[in-house]
A and B are shown apart, each in its own frame.
Chain A
Amino acid sequence: MPQTAPPLLPPSREEIERLAGEAFLTIPQVLRRHVANVVFCVEDFPDTEVEQEMELESPFDLLGLYRGISLPRRGVNMTRRSNDMIYLYRRPLIDYWAETGEPLGDIIRHVVIHEIGHHFGFSDEDMERIEGETG
């Protein structure tokens, strides 16, 4: 066959977790070591609480979410009982993939890096500005 046929089965949560893991490893070690205790969690959609909190018009509007205490807001004596989490939402990611036609790995990498940006204390506006400057 001259060309690989597109998959007949949809990308599973495991597949997205695998791509997120690969994307994570493309982040330079000097940054990555500050993210050691972040856990990835792949869900189909944001839950209704997140939908309300983020004022989503549709459950397809959010691709990922960082939940935790970002490094700049953290005190030295803060006991970290729970891991910081990066949520990735499979159904919105796949619809965005269908909409843009970009490779799924590239989309997931962009979202992973964006959420890790939140871990480092950058806001959405900060990151938009930085991306605008480099673009």
Chain B
Amino acid sequence: MPEPPLLPPTAAEIERLAGEAFLTIPQALRRHVANVVFRIEEFPDAAIQRKFNAKSPFSLLGLYRGIPLSRDSVNIVRSIHDMIFLYRRPLLAYWCMTGLPLFDIVRHVVIHEVGHHFGFSDEDMERIEAEA
């Protein structure tokens, strides 16, 4: 039987992997992330690249946009969803660079961005990962 054509992982596929990755987070934490929406884009937009001083559009794999729980107060009306952006082309380039399974990469990024939702900074998470 001929092999199926090798097609690249689509935005829909990455969204599916992000959903699966999200479900691996323990329920005790996950219930605080109920209103976060995942959004898959090709690249970070120009404004985000400037904000993060990105050397290349491939430098950023994901982004949390919203009010972290730690800065949230009971009387803030959350009229818009918090968002976790995942950038497909940088993710695929990183996948290709590392040779890791795509799911593992997406899961790492999802958990990192959910960490921001809980109020952890990049530095906090680097420290925690180094200690683990």
Partner-B contacts on A (CB < 8 A): 4-12, 15, 19, 58, 90-91, 94-95, 97-99, 101, 103-106
B93-106: CB near A (< 8 Å → 1, else 0) gives 10111010111000
Residues of A within 8 A of B96 (CB): 10-11, 90-91, 94-95
Those 3 A-B pairs whose CB atoms lie nearest each other, nearest first? A103-B5, A104-B6, A10-B96
B101–chain A nearest beta-carbon distance, Å: 4
Tell me which residues across on chain B come within 8 A of A98, comparing CB atoms.
Answer: 8-9, 88-89, 92-93
Are A10 and B89 in contact (CB-based, < 8 A)? no
Sample 9 A-B pairs with CB under 8 A, ordered by A number: A7-B9, A9-B101, A10-B92, A10-B99, A91-B97, A94-B92, A94-B93, A95-B92, A104-B6
Determine whether B26 belongs to the interface, using a CB cutoff of 8 Å to chain A.
Answer: no
Interface residues of B in 60-118 (CB under 8 A from A): 88-89, 92-93, 95-97, 99, 101-103
Known: A58-B56, A91-B93. A8 touches B99 (CB 8 A): no
Q: Does B7 contact A (CB under 8 A)?
A: yes
Q: Which residues of the other chain, A, contact B6 by a CB distance below 8 angstroms? A: 7, 11, 15, 19, 97, 103-105
A103 touches B101 (CB 8 A): no
Closest to A107 in B: B6
The residue on B at minimum CB distance from A90 is B96
A128 and B88 CA atoms in complex are apart in Å by: 30
Across the interface, do B99 and A99 meet the contact criterion of CB distance under 8 Å?
no
Report A-chain residues with C-beta under 8 Å of the C-beta of B92.
10, 94-95, 98
Kindly list chain A residues whose C-beta atoms are within 8 Å of the C-beta of B56. 58
Q: In the complex the two chains form, what is the Cα distance from A25 to B7 in whole Å?
A: 21
**Residue from B4, B10, B93 with most neighbouring chain A CB atoms (10 Å):** B93
Q: Across the interface, do B89 and A6 meet the contact criterion of CB distance under 8 Å?
A: no
B7 touches A101 (CB 8 A): yes
A6 and B99 in contact (CB under 8 A), knowing A11-B6, A91-B93, A104-B6? no
**Most chain A CB atoms below 10 A, which of B6, B96, B103:** B6
